[in-house]
Amino acid sequence: MNYVVSFLAMAIKFATVFLFGATGEIINQKSGHLNMGTPGIMYFGALGGTIGERIYLDTVAAGQPLNPFLIFLVPTLFAILFGAIGGFVFSFFTVTLHCNQNVTGLTLTTLLVGISCFFISAINKEGMSDAGLLLQNAWPGYKAAGWFGEIFLSQSYFTYFGVIVAVGAACVISFTRVGLNLRAVGENASSADSAGIPVQKYRYIATIIGGAIAGIGGAFYELDNAMGMSFEAADGIDAFGWLALCIVIFSLWKPAIAIGASFLFACLSIAPDFFAPYLGAAGFVTYILKMAPYVATIVVLTVVSIVDKKQQAPANLGVPYFREDR
Amino acid sequence: MTIKSLVKKLSLPFYLTKRIGFSKKKYWAIRAGGIVLAFLAAGIVCTCLKPGSFGEFYVQMFMGCFDPTDITIFVDLLVRFSILLLISVILIPPFKMRFWNIGAEGQILVGGLVAGGIAKFAPASLPNIVVLLICLAGAMLASTIWSLIPTIFKAFFNTNETLFTLMMNYIASTLSLMMIYIWVPTGSQNFGALTHGIFPTILGNPGTLAVAFTAVIFAGMYLYITKGKHGYEVTVLGESVDTARYIGINVKKVTIRTMATSGALFGVVGFFIVCAVNQSFSATIVGGQGFTGVLIAWLGHFNPLEVALFAFLSSVMTQGTSRVHMPSSAQFSAICTGVFFFIIIACEFFSSYKISWRHNEKKEASV
């Protein structure tokens, strides 16, 4: 029982990283822009988060207690800023300069992973592991609620914020005029343009907001899971970014489904490490579990393309829009 | 406020038009400017990270690629360049028919895995050349299968190939880790140095022979892309699927054939990387070159000669910057390579669009 509880609690924590990345990327892709820079942007957000935490820790006088909410808030604001910068660079190149999205995204990932690794390793990490532990104190008395508390109330502010952002994004995309316009831009940019929707503006804003949200995911991983201790531990943030891209497809471009999908992918990601000690000779099974998220994504992608062509990606995904081309 | 003044207020001070019939001279002038700027930018990045090292940076970079006293450094560069060139050129046919194959990384890795596995377990009694040929055949077969899986779904169900091939990369990488786990009982992350089924070391580098073979494959690909009937069919298909169908091209057949060809050739690349360059196998052996190849093929406008130029410049950039004395040189190299590609991408814009300023237009109108 204890084992299941700690597994689920850990999975939810891990899912938060995916959820931010996937929600950001869904907003991005709904505007018709496939941003393969997301893994890099998540890493860049981690750099922003680390800088933010350093600044906060430096302002607190020695011996003074740290405020868990501020440990969440200050790095998050920095991560949003850094993620937004990453998103802006991507949209400047793809929207204004009409560059190929795949090429720009891959380059952005190379550049941002390089920059983030370089600077994160240079930042003084003193006090960050204590701050990382404090992050989980969103509900200090969670142990009183038994297994429910252990699983759902032991999480950090980031997790609750992530769910709020995903639900908010789902509502905006499905139920508001802005969301309708955004979908129109992603499905058919020239029709949207004729209907008077400012295509470029929508694409810019969607990419910047998407980048900002993805950046928070990277910061959360760096500050909580890796506890800000070593940058080697955070080496895999770009790998989570690619998994976030899988989740976008897996959840059929719907942020609400992405919440469940993130949890599922998180379970599959942490299961190998949880089960490894019990497998013995069958240790290769852990690799099959690691493969599962990608295979599942491919299955969803192909089944959707065979069964219902309309449910696939936004129709204009990856297509640059230049008015003169019409 | 009249509508006219509102429009005036909202519009940008410039507008864009697509360039048509752009002279080759101007095009290359812009590109050359971009390349110079990109190399300058790398120096500036270096100076920012380590003040006062601007001149030193270029000296170290030059010596890291073309050191006249040490031929092996230049051979290293040639080997790096050959692998990158092969990957980029093999990606040209799929890209030309607008099949966005970003799965080169995985397709090469699977070929390398099979080649490495055969070399590792081949009986020592077999002659080296026979083992090498079996490795080559196995690698080509594996990579072909790996690249045909997404292709068949694309051809028959129009499944999004960008996302599919991207997923296949990660499956290939996990599969490699699993096979290493099964085959290497010590728990090491690689196969260890292969003793059988390897290329001879010439000029201090085991990859030298692969460079020679690359030249042959490049020449073949150049003819295939620019002169052959297959290359023509691929070009038409990329321009317009309907046109291709009207002139009697079997779209499904061409798609599958092109991807099978490029898959088989990726097997050769995997074979070179494992049996020649590294003489070992690990899951990170391709090291992102599959993605860099995508960038280069696109920036070279699918023209094999232009692709060769960019592959060379990129190799110089990567190898040169990784040998500059910096605290974390791998990351520094990644930053410089990223800046390099961004500037070239930006140049792309200036050579395909024309910026016209609105105040010029007004003057022209009044004259």
**From first to last of its 367 residues, what are the pLDDT tens digits of chain B?**
455 555 555 566 777 777 777 778 888 888 899 899 989 988 888 888 888 778 888 888 888 888 888 888 899 999 999 999 999 999 999 999 989 899 999 999 999 999 999 999 988 888 989 999 999 999 999 999 999 999 999 999 888 888 899 889 989 999 999 999 899 888 788 888 888 888 888 888 888 899 999 999 999 999 999 988 999 999 999 888 899 999 989 999 999 999 999 999 999 999 999 999 999 999 888 888 999 999 999 988 899 999 999 999 999 998 988 888 777 777 888 888 889 998 888 888 887 787 777 765 555 555 4
Q: Which amino acid is it at B194? A: L
B168 touches chain A (CB under 8 A): yes
Residue B40 lies in a domain: no
Distance between CA atoms of residues A95 and A320, nearest Å: 7
Task: Compute the radius of gyration of chain B from its Cα atoms.
Answer: 24
| B227: CATH | 1.10.3470
Nearest-neighbour CA in chain A from B249: distance (Å): 24
Residue A111 · residue A38 · CB < 8 Å: no
What are residue B15's phi and psi, to 5 degrees?
Answer: -140, 160
A311 touches chain B (CB under 8 A): no
Residue A102 · residue A318 · CB < 8 Å: yes
A287 touches chain B (CB under 8 A): yes
Q: Which amino acid is it at B247? A: I
Residue B315 lies in a domain: yes
Distance between CA atoms of residues B56 and B54, nearest Å: 6
What is the number of structural domains in chain B? Answer: 1
Residue B38 lies in a domain: no
Nearest-neighbour CA in chain A from B127: distance (Å): 33
CB under 8 Å to A1, separation ≥6 — which residues?
A: A147
Q: Do A106 and B294 touch (CB under 8 A)?
A: yes
CA torsion, ordered B239, B242, B246, B249, to nearest 10 deg = 60
Place of tokens 């094999």: B304
pLDDT score for A234? 46
Q: Do A103 and B338 touch (CB under 8 A)?
A: no
Q: Which helix (H) or strand (E) holds B356?
A: strand B353-357
Q: By three-state DSSP, how is residue B67 classified?
A: coil
Distance between CA atoms of residues A167 and A176, nearest Å: 13
Q: Do A324 and B181 touch (CB under 8 A)?
A: no
Task: Delimit the domains of chain A by residue range.
Answer: 2-267
Identify which of B18, B170, B342 has the shortest CB distance to residue A111.
Answer: B342
Residues of chain B neighbouring A312 (CB-CB closer than 8 A): 160
Residue B97 lies in a domain: yes
CATH number of A2-267: 1.10.3470
Identify which of B342, B280, B289, B299 has the alpha carbon closest to the alpha carbon of residue B319: B289
Distance between CA atoms of residues B113 and B280, nearest Å: 10
Residue B64 lies in a domain: no
The token pair at A38 is 């997301």
Helix, strand, coil shares of chain B, percent, nearest 5, are 75, 5, 20
Residue B348 lies in a domain: no
DSSP single-letter state for residue A221: I
Q: Do A114 and B177 touch (CB under 8 A)?
A: no
Distance between CA atoms of residues A275 and B284, nearest Å: 25
A108 touches chain B (CB under 8 A): yes
Q: Which residues of chain A have pLDDT under 50?
A: 228-234
Identify which of B218, B208, B261 has the alpha carbon closest to the alpha carbon of residue B89: B218
Q: Which of residues 22-41 of A touch B (CB under 8 A)?
A: 34
Distance between CA atoms of residues B288 and A100, nearest Å: 19
Identify which of A79, A67, A78 has the alpha carbon closest to the alpha carbon of residue A135: A67
A102 touches chain B (CB under 8 A): yes
Distance between CA atoms of residues B346 and A21, nearest Å: 27
Q: Which of residues 126-145 of B touch A (CB under 8 A)?
A: none
The token pair at A211 is 């980048």
CB under 8 Å to A52, separation ≥6 — which residues?
A: A74, A75, A76, A77, A78, A79, A219
> Could you tell me if the ipTM is greater than 0.90?
no
How many Cα atoms occupy the beta-carbon half-sphere of B233 within 13 Å? 17
Distance between CA atoms of residues A49 and A120, nearest Å: 10
Please give the model's pTM, rounded to 2 decimal places.
0.87
Distance between CA atoms of residues A159 and B289, nearest Å: 35
Chain B residue at shortest CA distance from A294: B167
Distance between CA atoms of residues B143 and B161, nearest Å: 16
Q: Do A106 and B182 touch (CB under 8 A)?
A: no
A149 touches chain B (CB under 8 A): no
Distance between CA atoms of residues B132 and A136, nearest Å: 56
Q: What DSSP string describes B160-195?
A: -HHHHHHHHHHHHHHHHHHHHHHH-TT--SB-----
B329 touches chain A (CB under 8 A): no
Distance between CA atoms of residues B204 and B109, nearest Å: 25
B20 touches chain A (CB under 8 A): no
Q: Which of residues 84-123 of B touch A (CB under 8 A)?
A: 100, 102
Residues forming a β-bridge with B190 = B282
Q: Do A114 and B338 touch (CB under 8 A)?
A: yes
Residues of chain A neighbouring B292 (CB-CB closer than 8 A): 110
Q: Which amino acid is it at B283? A: A
List of E strands, chain A: none
Distance between CA atoms of residues A190 and A199, nearest Å: 8
Residue B270 lies in a domain: yes
Q: Do A291 and B174 touch (CB under 8 A)?
A: yes
Distance between CA atoms of residues A116 and B65, nearest Å: 26
